[in-house]
Amino acid sequence: MSTESRSGSGPAQTEEMTVREAIRLALREELERDEDVFLIGEDVGAFGGVFEVTGGLVEDFGEKRVRDTPISEAGFMGAAVGAAATGTRPVVEIMFADFMGVCSEQIINQMAKNRYMFGGKTEMPVTVRTTEGGGMGAASQHSGTLHTWFAHFPGVMAVAPGTPRAAKGLLKSAIRSNDPVFVFENKMIYEQKGEVPLDEDYTIPLGQAKVEREGEDVTVVATQRMVGESLDLAEELDGDISAEVIDLRSLYPLDTDTLVESVKKTGRLVIADESPLSYGTHAEVATRVMENAFYSLDAPVQRVGVADVHIPFSPELENEVLPHGDDVEAAIRRIM
């Protein structure tokens, strides 16, 4: 199995940083590495992005390459598609994933289809970063988790990091890829800290999940915020139940092998992802495992997600619908 790649052979240098800092570092490194890389989005320049991810970049790379746009998602998403098709490497920021609705045409009919329709004659090296998830009282139009749409749609790739390390390595792979890649950042984990390799050539290949914690009794496949919550839960359960926690990282392509290998060992599977449950990311993970390890399963697969509702405003309601570690625990206990 190929591993995370880095240059050189000495001991890897790492530094503790937040998810936000890891993303910013990846952007900075790629802007430095390749003149064709540029950022495009609303208030990504002097304002630094509403979640402060792109802060400081315009100062170092200038307004030409860190481009503030009018509030025209359809227009600048399409411009990014056209720019990518003609040789540059745009990194688009869509402030909230909910706004994908505004620019879906250019994604679904242009970005995703051009290469195929043109008989492989166009490259589409575009990266789209966006934020997902509830938890800050931002209500239904600023809290959605939509990544299943894009993971589902043929012609675009999708990743959703759960750690700072994954955030850096995946984003760099996305930018270097000649295909369209969506990077779904959960807005509640920007402050989450972890060790991140400083190597400028550290990348995580698209299509690889990562076992973040080994265990024997149950496999928890988690994404984004649910990775950290599942890891905390696994620590709490230690001694009682031994949980293996996998950060799915790449939604499409999906690392079937790592999932199957784990379930063959544990015999139980819980999938924790903030998408609505029907036709969700959970369903795809469950199917891949059942297709390949059905006879290793000792219990029904469990899904932890959102019950097909939008994220409501009131903290009481929002807390009710969002999945948390306690929901993962309940799911585990149902099948132990």
Partner 1 sequence: MVAIDIESEEGQREALRRMLTIRAFDTKAGDLFGDGELPGFVHLYIGEEAVAVGACSALEEEDYITSTHRGHGHCIAKGLEPEQMMSELYGKRDGYCNGKGGSMHIADVDAGMLGANGIVGAGPPLATGAALTSHLRGEDTVALAFFGDGAVAQGQIHEAINIAATWKLPAIFLVENNQFGEGTPVEKQHNVQHLSETAEAYNIPGFTVDGMDVTAVFEAVREARKRALNGEGPTFIEADTYRYRGHFEGDQQPYRTKEDVAIWQDRDAIESFKQKLIDAGTITEAEFDEMESEIHDRIEQAAADAKEAPYPDPSEAYEDMFSATVPEINEFARQMRADGGERQ
Ligand X SMILES: Cc1ncc(C[n+]2csc(CCOP(=O)(O)OP(=O)(O)O)c2C)c(N)n1
| Residues with catalytic function | 73, 142
Q: Please, where are the H alpha helices in 107-211? A: 114-117, 147-152, 164-176
C-alpha distances (whole Å) from 87 to each of 112, 129, 292 are 16, 19, 40
The DSSP element (H or E) to which 213 belongs, if any, is strand 210-213
Among residues 26, 44, 95, 322, which is the contact residue for ligand X, using CB under 6 A? 95
The reply to whether 142 sits near partner 1 by the rule CB under 8 A is yes
Count the neighbouring beta carbons within 10 Å of the beta carbon of residue 128. 26
The reply to whether 74 sits near partner 1 by the rule CB under 8 A is yes
**Least distance CB 99 / partner 1 (angstroms):** 7
**Least distance CB 115 / ligand X (angstroms):** 27
Among residues 99, 184, 190, 252, which is the contact residue for ligand X, using CB under 6 A? 99
Q: Which does 310 bind (CB under 5 to 8 A by kind): ligand X, partner 1, none?
A: partner 1
Rank residues 99 and 150 by Cβ distance to ligand X and give the closer one. Answer: 99
Among residues 74, 79, 102, 108, which is the contact residue for ligand X, using CB under 6 A? 102
Written as six digits, the tokens of 325 are: 């570690």
Count the neighbouring beta carbons within 10 Å of the beta carbon of residue 107. 27
Using DSSP, state whether 282 is helix, strand or coil. Answer: helix
| Options 24-32, 235-243, 267-275, 302-310: segment touching partner 1 (CB under 8 A) | 302-310
C-alpha distances (whole Å) from 163 to each of 53, 64, 212, 301 are 15, 31, 10, 25
**Least distance CB 331 / partner 1 (angstroms):** 8
φ/ψ of residue 152, rounded to 5: -75, -35
Name the site residues for ligand X (rule: CB under 6 A).
42, 71, 73, 95, 99, 102
Residues that bind partner 1 (CB under 8 A): 42-43, 46-47, 50, 68, 70-75, 98-99, 101-102, 136-142, 277-278, 303-310, 312-321, 323, 326-327, 329-330
